[in-house]
Amino acid sequence: MSRFLNEKDYFHGKSECTGILLVNLGTPDAPDAPSLRRYLKEFLSDQRVVEIPRVFWYPILYGIILNKRPAASAAKYQGVWTENGSPLMDISLQQQKALQKEIDIRFDGPVKIELAMRYGKPSIQSGLLKLKEAGARRILILPLYPQYCAATAATTFDKVFDELKRWRWMPELRLVNHYHDHPGYIEALASSVLEHWEKYPRGELLLMSFHGIPKRSLTLGDPYHCECHKTARLLAEALNLKPHEWRVTFQSRFGKAEWLQPYTDKTLQTLPSEGIKQVDVICPGFAADCLETLEEIQVENREYFQHAGGENYHYIPALNANTKHIHALADIIQQHTQGWAETSPEWRETTQQKQAELTLQRATDMGAKK
């Protein structure tokens, strides 16, 4: 029995396509403790996420965290769960559908988009296998993390490589490392802020909250911190903000170690004492709204701000499946698939020529047999 995943029903001339794998972090299957335990076990066992040696980390993970945290996390997920299930999954499916429609308009050749989650379902393995079954010989991996971080983009690539090591016929592979300064992405962010300001009174401060990582990651060379600040600067420039009108903070810290600062929650607790009582919060690092934005930012941090004396607090939603975001992602795909057959302007002409050659070859073979 072969150790590799072999080709099934292959024949010369079988149609091919370009495959795009969209990858986000993941979500539990349901807002209950057993589902959260499975999800957290996979997530927190990833050595890209927690770099503590396993001999020290696993007793903490299995002895304390997985016994206590699932129930508490489930309660929070229940607060954001919708009729369509997980907000992250629902929005991600909308993004996949809208992006497939946009890509079909842009390219003549077949380009297939699949969705995967780094943790949970649908898995990266299942997404890659669907692309393989569709005939993808060229695959672009697009992690929906604008800013590169080893704990997000790199672990996605790790999982992709682990799966492709099983394939006998490996595809051409390209990776989108980041898009933190892509013009379309910045434009989409700026438009979302301006649209919000048209509907609601503008706050005194635009707080740009990014997901945090341990400070140690920065000192070891992870570029995430710098890319977050570049995104923020470009967004501030696009909005013509003055230095005192915007700030960068970091949220979602975990454990007792020092993480990137300033912390979002601590900042919101001190703003009223600085005389800032009206604030708008945006999370540019999240491609889709999820627990960290809908519960942590929109609910929990709002309470911190208001209890400290703040008055008006508005969360500006993630880009989700809005049109400019989809166009930006399509631009990124177009940029990174240049030179591939299905995305080439000459695809139709080339395909027709190949089909004619194949038909002629078959006719010649038939004649030779007679």
pLDDT of residue 341: 87
Q: What is the mean pLDDT of residues 144-152?
A: 98
Residue 201, both tokens? 């009174």
Are 5 and 99 spatial neighbours (Cβ–Cβ below 8 Å)?
Answer: no
Q: What is the pLDDT of residues 163-220, one digit of tens each?
A: 999 999 999 999 999 999 999 999 999 999 999 999 999 999 999 999 999 999 999 9
370, pLDDT greater than 60:
no
pLDDT of residue 255: 85
The DSSP result for 166-206, as a single string, is TBSSPPEEEE----TT-HHHHHHHHHHHHHHHHHSPPPSEE
Strand partners, 18: 111, 138
Distance CA 303, CA 281 (A): 13
pLDDT of residue 359: 58
With CA atoms as reference, report the closest residue to 232 among 202, 262, 276.
262
Q: What is the mean pLDDT of residues 94-117?
A: 97
DSSP 338: T
Distance CA 119, CA 126 (A): 12
Show the CA angle centred on residue 324, arms to residues 241 and 85, nearest 5°: 110
To which H or E segment does residue 210 belong?
strand 205-211
Report all structural domains of the chain as residue ranges with CATH numbers, in order of start. Answer: 17-180+323-348 (3.40.50.1400), 183-316 (3.40.50.1400)
9, pLDDT greater than 80:
no
Task: Tally DSSP H helices, then E strands, for the chain.
Answer: 14, 8
- Average pLDDT along the chain: 94
Distance CA 200, CA 278 (A): 11
268, pLDDT greater than 70:
yes
Q: How much is the pTM?
A: 0.93
Q: What is the pLDDT of residues 71-83, one digit of tens each?
A: 999 999 999 999 9
Q: What is the pLDDT of residues 17-66, one digit of tens each?
A: 999 999 999 999 999 999 999 999 999 999 999 999 999 999 999 999 99
**Residue 352 confidence class, pLDDT cut points 50, 70, 90:** low
